[in-house]
Amino acid sequence: MKIVHLVSAGVIGGAEKIALQLATYQKNAGNDVEIWFLFKGGPIKAEAEKLGIKTQLCGVRNGWDISGAINLSRQLSCHHPDIIHVHAFSIGFLVALMKRKQSIILEHEHGCIFSSNGLVKRLYNIIIRRFVHLADAYIAVSEATRRALINTLCINNDAIRTIPNGVDLSLFEQERDPHRKKLELGIPGNSLVVGTVGRLVNEKGMDGFVRAAALIRNQLQDVHFVIAGDGPCRAELTALIADLGLGGAVSLLGMRNDVPELLTAFDLFALTSNRESFGIALVEAMASGVPVLAFGVDGIPEVIDERCGVLLGPGDVEGLAAAALALLRDSGKRSTMAVACRRRAEEFSIQTAFRQVSQLYTDLITARLKTAA
């Protein structure tokens, strides 16, 4: 089977990581797989090439680049993929895909539909409603995403398959020394650590994590806080950390390529996103045996249960701080939750996601052949 995964860029985000993992499994299963980057390359492109996956830069400047869309249409015409697996909607390639109906078009909704910017969300939805008929089927990464696709874009329920994101659990199974990792980070080995991983963008609500850190430190001094990730909000977060007097207590690590090892240094993982269609970072933390706390927005309640974590109301920074303090003071409860976390993470393996996506491909191709006959 000839498959092209279309992603916006090669940044390390949830959609890009899933595209890379699926492409890896599909290649290993004997398929002809490529990842095409609409706007630019990056770490994901480099990683794909290391794994022997073909990549291509499409030269599209932005979502309004009609000439770039025409060029993409020509590239797809020459390639003749059986499946075009789209991981990000954009006006430019939607125009291009209009001419590619001989291929099966699968739109994988990773969460743009949950955009927190009112104007952007309205424009996005208007655009997608215009081109929604182009896709043969949709993947929703959560039931919350499925509902949003139906209610916001009026997509037929039968055209949507809910396939939760998957994580390569083998990356998190290796036994590692948390004390050594803490020392590498400049944190005393016996200190408690509350950490998070994610892009430093508004929708990830990292300011909420920092404000919760301040409340926790008021009650418990021997706690350090770690933020792994980078993005446009870094300067604002740095200023907020200074304003709250947390300069020595919060570490901004930037982008990391050692997340599985880093997670072993965490005693708790906190996700303070304002919008989150699924929450891959939560599954990675649970796979590492780290209890999780998160605001219960969008698809998050489908990932966490009471055995492995704590769900708070959206934006409830005080509640998150209180829940974190209770767990930080109860090592026995954390140990019990760690076991439950690993079990829960097993329900979100990349192998399961790969099998479900493969079955969807087969179903779509079979339906196309029946229609043609």
Query: According to the model, what pLDDT value does residue 112 have?
Result: 62
76 vs 284, more confident: 284
| Overall average pLDDT of the 204-213 stretch | 97
The answer to whether 193 touches 226, Cβ cutoff 8 Å, is yes
Return the structure tokens found at 367. Answer: 């339906």
What is the layout of strands, in order, in the sheet containing 83-86? 54-57, 32-40, 2-9, 83-86, 104-109, 137-140, 160-162
Return the structure tokens found at 287. Answer: 């796979």
Q: What percent of the chain has pLDDT over 70?
A: 89
| Overall average pLDDT of the 49-54 stretch | 94
- Asked if pLDDT for residue 165 goes beyond 80, the answer is yes
Alpha-carbon gap, residue 214 to 208, rounded angstroms: 10
CATH 3.30.200.20 fits 2-166+350-372, yes or no: no
Q: What percent of the chain has pLDDT over 90?
A: 65
Q: What share of the chain is helix, strand, coil (3-state, %, to 5)?
A: 50, 20, 30
Furthest CA-CA distance within the chain: 71
Pick the range with the lowest mean pLDDT from 82-96, 299-313, 327-341.
82-96
Query: According to the model, what pLDDT value does residue 238 have?
Result: 97
311 vs 156, more confident: 311
Phi, psi (deg, nearest 5) at residue 63 = -65, -10
- Asked if pLDDT for residue 120 goes beyond 80, the answer is no
- Asked if pLDDT for residue 350 goes beyond 70, the answer is yes
Return the structure tokens found at 351. Answer: 């192998």
Alpha-carbon gap, residue 111 to 250, rounded angstroms: 29
The answer to whether 291 touches 268, Cβ cutoff 8 Å, is yes
Query: According to the model, what pLDDT value does residue 100 have?
Result: 56
Alpha-carbon gap, residue 17 to 23, rounded angstroms: 10
What is the layout of strands, in order, in the sheet containing 223-228? 250-254, 223-228, 192-197, 268-271, 292-295, 309-312
Query: According to the model, what pLDDT value does residue 176 have?
Result: 82
| Overall average pLDDT of the 220-242 stretch | 96
How many helices (H) and strands (E) the chain has is answered by 14, 13
| Overall average pLDDT of the 248-276 stretch | 94
pTM score, whole prediction: 0.90
Average of per-residue pLDDT values in the chain: 89
pLDDT band at 38 (very low <50, low <70, confident <90, very high): confident
Contacts 24+ apart (CB under 8 A), 248-252: 249/213, 249/217, 249/223, 249/224, 249/225, 250/210, 250/213, 250/224, 250/225, 250/226, 251/185, 251/186, 251/187, 251/224, 251/225, 251/226, 251/227, 252/227
DSSP lists the bridge partners of residue 271 as 294
Q: Structurally, what CATH architecture does the domain formed by 169-348 represent?
A: 3-Layer(aba) Sandwich (3.40)
Query: According to the model, what pLDDT value does residue 235 have?
Result: 97
Alpha-carbon gap, residue 59 to 179, rounded angstroms: 46
Over its C-alpha atoms, the chain yields an Rg (Å, rounded) of: 21
- Fold matches, 2-166+350-372 and 169-348: yes
Taken in order 22, 25, 27, 30, the sign of the CA dihedral is: negative
Please give the C-alpha separations between residue 133 and each of 38, 98, 107, 155, in angstroms, as whole numbers: 21, 10, 11, 9
pLDDT band at 266 (very low <50, low <70, confident <90, very high): very high
Domain ranges in the chain?
2-166+350-372, 169-348
Pick the range with the lowest mean pLDDT from 107-111, 250-254, 306-310.
107-111
pLDDT band at 101 (very low <50, low <70, confident <90, very high): low
Q: Strand, coil or helix: what is 163? A: coil
| Overall average pLDDT of the 71-81 stretch | 83
Report pLDDT digits (tens) over 21-37: 999 999 999 999 999 98
Alpha-carbon gap, residue 181 to 345, rounded angstroms: 23
- Asked if pLDDT for residue 64 goes beyond 70, the answer is no
Pick the range with the lowest mean pLDDT from 54-58, 123-127, 337-341, 362-366.
123-127
Taken in order 315, 110, 281, 359, the sign of the CA dihedral is: positive
Return the structure tokens found at 27. Answer: 């290649």
| Cα end-to-end distance, the chain, whole Å | 20
Report pLDDT digits (tens) over 287-331: 999 999 999 999 999 999 999 999 999 999 999 999 999 999 999
| Overall average pLDDT of the 137-142 stretch | 94
- Asked if pLDDT for residue 14 goes beyond 90, the answer is no
Q: Can you tell me which residue has the tokens 């339906």?
A: 367
